[in-house]
Structure 1
Amino acid sequence: MQFSKNSEAISCVLRRALCALLICSALVCVAAPAAHASALWIADSEQVDEYLPSQLKSSGTPTPLTVSDSDEAVGVCFDKSGNLWVTNFNEQILEFTAKALKKLPTAPSPAVTITSSTFSEIWGCTFDKHGNLWAADENVGMYEVSALQLKTGGSITPAVIITDTTQSPRPCYVAFDKSGNLWIDDRNNGRLFEFTASQLGASGDATPTVILGGEGSLGDPGQIGFDGHGNLWVTSYGDDSVVEFSKSQLGASNNDAPAITISSSTLDGPWGLAFRGGDLWVMNQGNSDAEEFRPSQIKHSGSPAPSVILTDAASDSNELGFGPAHGK
């Protein structure tokens, strides 16, 4: 009898453990989908282009799916629901829903259009962890469009407007680190600025807590982004290179020399960049190519040959990003 009770107890424990394992596995699959399932999206001025995962496996000249109702597109970013948001030089922020994008190549229409008299020369966009959209404005600073404003659309006053009259940067792109600090590029002086999360709660003039670059280390910086290790990467358009400031360099100013510089001979006016898993993708404005560099190729400074080159990927590229694969 005792043996039977012990057997039942052990069986119960095993069933619970198996159940927990299955639940955990399901959660992992949902919370962390394969990075390589994502598609490459490019703001191509006249439109937004999508390259499906199957088109990113090898070099060539694939034909993208296009979101044509996004004239003057300059920035692309996705919210948590997989909806595409586009900023453009018409000083608009547009939403294309995931449901509509699934019908590509049938061209979707914007579900939400946001305008503002404050918008002057809006560029790249990103989302914070609360679902608010942040955008860079080369003539003003940085905007937060709240999650509520994104739902209602129309003409708005941004929920938060951050300016910096001391340094007077010309930001084109914005990115958040894992601590919720906002980083921007400064085209005026070839620098990168950090504004801490505590500085982003209300509108006002803010002083950067960290300044990187300067002294000629960055020639006309473009899009910025973080890799999975917390290192900050930026394209250096004027130098035909892509550089990394290591995570350890981000804690204080005066780190002017990048930790890594990638200067492949195929880089020609690099402007946009984004990570897909550990792979770095770069968009060239000079030759309109999109290039992939594998993790092993960007561990150290050098001039590696891209593992994949998509030729004629965009006629006038701006921001790139990875998001859900839509259409067929």
Structure 2
Amino acid sequence: MQRVIIIIVVVVLGVIAGFGIVFVGYTPGQTAKDSSEILAGVSEEDKLALCGDGIVKSNEYIKEYLIPTYCSASVGIVVDRDGKVWFAETLTGKLGIFDPDTERFQEIKIPDWKTRNRGFGSMVWGMKFDPGGNLWFTDEIGNAIRKYDTKSGKFEIYKIPTKGSYPVQVAFDAAGNVWFAEIFGKKIGKIDPELAKDGTSEGIIEFAPDATGLETMGQLIVDHEGSIWFTMLDYPTIGKLFKYDPELNKFTTYVLPNGTASPVGIVEDNSGNLWINDHGTNLFFKFDTQSQKITKYSTSLPQTNHVVSLPYWNVIDDKGRIWFNLHQGNAIAVFDPTQETLIEYDIAKGQKMWGYTTNPLQFALAPDGKVWFTQWTENKIAVLDPTLPIPLLISTDDRSIELKPNTTSTITIQVKSDERTYSPVRMNVSGTFIISGKLWNIDVNFSSTELQFDEPSTKTVALSLTPRGDLPEGDHTIMIGARYDGITYSTTVRVKV
């Protein structure tokens, strides 16, 4: 399936002309509608890889919904101000709308939607509503940014001047301009909605940074001062961060840490720091825009058949927490920068051919705090309810340590369970010494690797770390976690080498 995995970054979208609206009711366990005409000529292997098995696999925190149109290959997703969930069916060329209150789907055909052969659709990574309620989204194969007027039901398409640019994200500035990033065009672009004309490139301006030695572009955001930030990379060796000042028409370049393989997700926190996900490793990090200091963190090690979790896109919520999806880790994660704690919610396992990930490629936060996401190869959307109580907490008073060769350092950890556990609570640890998150060249010993709670209580665990040889010098972090019933709760310890 290597050829399928590679296509995640380069895929396309299918030929359906005209647009109309179809309302579909949802019943748990139903079979999605057949779309055999769309998949004509697609091999059974590829159908299995892209369409899923049609089985809903919800758990305590995450509820899945089967998309009515078979093999929709949905990616982009956003939630409107009324709580309705919008998503892009990249293979079948539709906008899907799901009402959580009625559990009913609505589907709107997108005009002139193009696909490739072998059943791969036009990837839609970015979907956002402007203040007027218009939905803007990217169209890879159409090489365009599209707009859907939710009041009139009218679609418009704005053609990007650079051919084969692969638009990936959209963002709005204070003046209402629409900014977008180009994966292969290696440019950022701006659409002036007042000047844009349907079916043309009018009203679009592109800006090209110095992309010498860089192959592709990641996410784009507009910060609180109106500057444009984005990432670029040459996978898997070089990652850079760029800032564009629209008033000065000036680019500034920042080099990211050695080993950064694929910086993609980027978001600004309430203090003006940038949080960046490395979608080629287990790592994510904070970039202080004033001091340019970088602090790296690791997710827990994947529970799927993958070496790294691949943190992907990220969003900040109204509490200042950073949410992100773990592509190969098959989880939705939230990091609290104040407490330096990480919670990872496992998604029910996907197909073996994908290493058991469901390919949760995009997600969005709803006004009620729930997290909605697509499962590209399962033909589903799903919702995580983070308001539900978590049975575990983990803490330590040893918030920083120093590691020296052949010297043992011990961290005392308190693991609290608010309920009786019916399966083992498993301890785990990861760190930022190498990109996989594993504690390379360190002997790791927990006094107890598994805990059982017969009643609500707190247990103490000791973690001993003994470096066997040289470690990368400098400042690092380790994440010490407790895992139970599909939840991993981790806390950060800072490490000086």
Partner residue, 2:276: 282
* CA offset digits 1:16-36 (Å, max 9, x no partner): xxxxxxxxxxxxxxxxxxxxx
1:204 is aligned to 200
Aligned counterpart, 2:266: 273
Larger Rg: 2
Match of 1:38 in 2: none
Asked if the contact 1:266/1:305 (under 8 Å) is kept, the reply is no
Match of 2:79 in 1: 78
The residue number in structure 2 matching 1:18 is: none
2:239 aligns to what? 241
Q: Deviations over 1:70-126 (max 9, x none)?
A: 6633222232223332224323322233547xxxxxxxx563222224223141111
* Identical residues among aligned pairs (%): 16
Which piece of structure 1 moves more, 74-83 or 266-275?
A: 266-275
1:145 is aligned to 2:158: no
Q: Does 1:160 align with 2:156?
A: yes
Q: Which residue of 2 aligns with 1:7?
A: none
For residues 81-120 of structure 1, what are the structure 2 equivalents within 5 Å?
81-90=82-91, 91-97=93-99, 99=101, 111-120=105-114
Offset at residue 161 of structure 1 (A) = 0.9
**2:186 aligns with one of 190, 193, 196:** 190
Q: CA deviation at 1:130?
A: 0.7
- Residue among 284, 289, 300 paired with 1:298: 289
In the alignment, what sits opposite 2:226?
230
1:172-194 deviations in whole A, cap 9, x for unaligned? 22111111111111223311111
Decide whether the 8 Å contact of 1:223 with 1:319 is kept in 2.
no
In structure 2, do the counterparts of structure 1 residues 111 and 242 end up closer, same or farther at CA, with 3 Å as the change threshold? farther
Aligned equivalent of 1:69: 66
Aligned twin of 2:416: none
1:170 to partner: Cα distance:
2.5
- The CA deviation at 1:197 is 2.6
Paired residue for 1:40?
none
Can you give the 5+ residue segments of structure 2 that lack an aligned partner in the other structure? 1-49, 53-59, 115-121, 302-308, 310-325, 329-358, 371-384, 389-497
Q: Output the TM-score relative to the length of structure 2.
A: 0.42
Offset, 1:66: 5.6
More helix by share: 1
8 Å CA contact 1:272–1:317 kept in 2: the answer is: no
| Structure 1 residues 215-273: Cα deviation after superposition (integer angstroms, max 9, x where no partner) | 42753112211222222122324365352324xx22465x4xx4252513564322233
Q: 1:21-80 deviations in whole A, cap 9, x for unaligned?
A: xxxxxxxxxxxxxxxxxxxxxxxx999xxxxxxxxxxxxxxx973645366332222322
Residues 1:298 and 1:322: Cα distance change in structure 2 (over 3 Å): farther
Structure 1 or 2: larger strand share? 2
Count of residues in correspondence between the two structures = 245
Contact 2:171 2:220 in 1 (8 A): yes
Q: CA deviation at 1:138?
A: 1.4
Partner of 1:127: 129
The answer for the alignment partner of 2:177 in structure 1 is: 181
Amino acid at match of 2:182: D
What CA RMSD, in Å, does the superposition of the two structures yield over aligned residues?
Answer: 3.5
Is the 1:77–1:84 contact (alpha carbons within 8 Å) kept by the matching residues of 2? yes
CA contact (8 A) 1:190 1:216 kept: no
Name the residue aligned to 2:457.
none
Query: TM-score scaled by structure 1?
Result: 0.61
Equivalent-residue separation in structure 1 for 2:171 and 2:155 (angstroms): 18
1:118–1:310 CA distance, 2 compared to 1 (3 A): farther
Q: SS state of the match for residue 189, structure 1?
A: coil
AA aligned opposite 1:306 = K
Amino acid at match of 1:80: R
Q: Counterparts of 1:193 and 1:276 in 2: how far apart (Å)?
A: 24
Match of residue 216, structure 1, among 208, 212, 217: 212
Rounded to whole Å, the distance in 2 between the matches of 1:292 and 1:139 is: 32
State the structure with bigger RCO (CA 8 A, min sep 6), 1 or 2.
1
Partner of 1:273: helix, strand, or coil? strand
